[in-house]
Amino acid sequence: MINAFLQLAQVGTGATLVQTLLKSFALGSVYVLIALGFVIIFKATQVLNFAAGALSMAGAMFMTILISDGGLPLLPFGNPLAPAEGETASVVLFFVNVLIALALAALLGLVIERLAIRPMVGQPLFAMAVITLGIEIAIRPFNLDATALEGRRLGVPWGASSWNWGDAVVPKSYIVAVIIAAIAGAGVLLFFRTKLGVAMRAVAFDQEAAMAQGINVGRVFAIAWAMGTALAALGAIVYGMAPFPPGGSVSQEIHPLLALRVLPVIVLGGLDSVAGAIYGGLIIATAEVFAGQYLSQWNSTLGSGYSTIVPYLVMLFMLLVKPYGLFGTPEIRRV
């Protein structure tokens, strides 16, 4: 480690450091979005959502269908807000389409909650987790069938372009990612101060006592699933923007694994903590990006493998010293 820092001082220029930091925040933003989705569902409903991967990717698929097919999924009429054939949407139109995709993702979350989760309420934690795994498996083929092998374009108006800040190259997508995550994170924190958000926290704390107050727990569950699915979808959409690895599209290879890479974030932050999702996302992404940038320069045995391994090392370390995560609630049983 000390060597790595020496390397940093010698090899790493200021510009590299700035770029690496920014990349950390951008990747962290993606992790934060998906982790928030997971945490909200777990906090409100005590369900470990192993369908987060397929659900987030489905949300990104909605986006590509809206933008490139110019049609709404399963509906006969076209998307009036889609760009003309062969053209790229304007920035405003792009974000309008993002909002529609998120609404569709939220709807998907509502349907899943109603059909697969609500009837099983009261079952053991483990059974519920297995059900979400079933949902993951059921949705995956839709994602893969709908994705062409080379990926489906997300139609990001700014593509892979970047700004230059001094010597540092700053991809526009990275800045967009950070802004989106900041807005979403602030939105979630504000939501928890509203009537419904307070009710959701009450349900999370003591479901029966919440029912006794007249809080409609079913409605709270439905909202948690809608929010959780939409946040996961937003993460997958942002991740589709170049220069994130999928390179401007929804990727058959990279996107399905995204949620798995958020696992260390959730373990680090705590399964039921919003603050944990935010800090955890940023810490894990920073560890991952810095390991990829600097450790591989210091010792090339693993090459880019360092960035894959480091998040799990952080997670293992966390499980040893603080099994409930930085901000998690200790009573929570693990499966």
Helix, strand, coil shares of the chain, percent, nearest 5, are 70, 5, 30
CA dihedral 70, 75, 77, 83 (to 10 degrees): -10
212 binds other proteins (CB under 8 A): yes
114 binds other proteins (CB under 8 A): no
Among positions 120, 137, 179, 209, the unique one binding other proteins when judged by CB under 8 A: 209
Nearest approach, Cβ of residue 98 and other proteins (Å): 32
Nearest approach, Cβ of residue 275 and other proteins (Å): 13
CB 269 within 8 A of CB 325: yes
125 binds other proteins (CB under 8 A): no
Region label for 247, one of left (φ > 0), alpha (ψ between -120 and 50) or beta (otherwise) = left
Q: Cβ closer to other proteins: 218 or 305? A: 218
Provide the total of helices (H) and of strands (E) in the chain, helices listed first.
13, 4
Q: DSSP character for 78? A: B
202 binds other proteins (CB under 8 A): yes
207 binds other proteins (CB under 8 A): yes
Among positions 5, 165, 205, 317, the unique one binding other proteins when judged by CB under 8 A: 205
- Beta strand 152-153 with 249-250: parallel, antiparallel or unpaired? antiparallel
Residues in 303-322 at the binding interface with other proteins, rule: CB under 8 A: none
Stretch that binds other proteins, among 14-22, 126-134, 201-209, 276-284 (CB under 8 A): 201-209
Nearest approach, Cβ of residue 274 and other proteins (Å): 12
Among positions 61, 63, 131, 210, the unique one binding other proteins when judged by CB under 8 A: 210
Stretch that binds other proteins, among 127-135, 196-204, 229-237, 255-263 (CB under 8 A): 196-204
Nearest approach, Cβ of residue 192 and other proteins (Å): 10
Q: 117-144 in b/e burial notation, b at 16+ Cβ within 10 A?
A: beeeeeeeeeebbebbeebbeebbeebe
186, with CB counted inside 10 A (0-12, 13-18, 19+), is exposed
Q: Which residues contact 138 (CB under 8 A, 6 or more apart)?
A: 54
Tokens of 130: 């297995």
Nearest approach, Cβ of residue 266 and other proteins (Å): 19
Stretch that binds other proteins, among 55-63, 144-152, 206-214, 275-283 (CB under 8 A): 206-214
Nearest approach, Cβ of residue 198 and other proteins (Å): 5
Stretch that binds other proteins, among 71-79, 82-90, 210-218, 299-307 (CB under 8 A): 210-218
Among positions 138, 198, 309, 335, the unique one binding other proteins when judged by CB under 8 A: 198
Nearest approach, Cβ of residue 219 and other proteins (Å): 9
Q: Which residues contact 166 (CB under 8 A, 6 or more apart)?
A: 15, 18
DSSP string over 139-164 = HHHHHHHHS-TT-EE---TTTT-EEE
Nearest approach, Cβ of residue 197 and other proteins (Å): 10
Among positions 85, 87, 208, 331, the unique one binding other proteins when judged by CB under 8 A: 208
C-alpha to C-alpha distances, 66 to 6, 14, 72, 102, 323, nearest whole angstrom: 49, 41, 6, 11, 42
Binding site for other proteins (CB under 8 A): 122, 195, 198-199, 201-202, 205-216
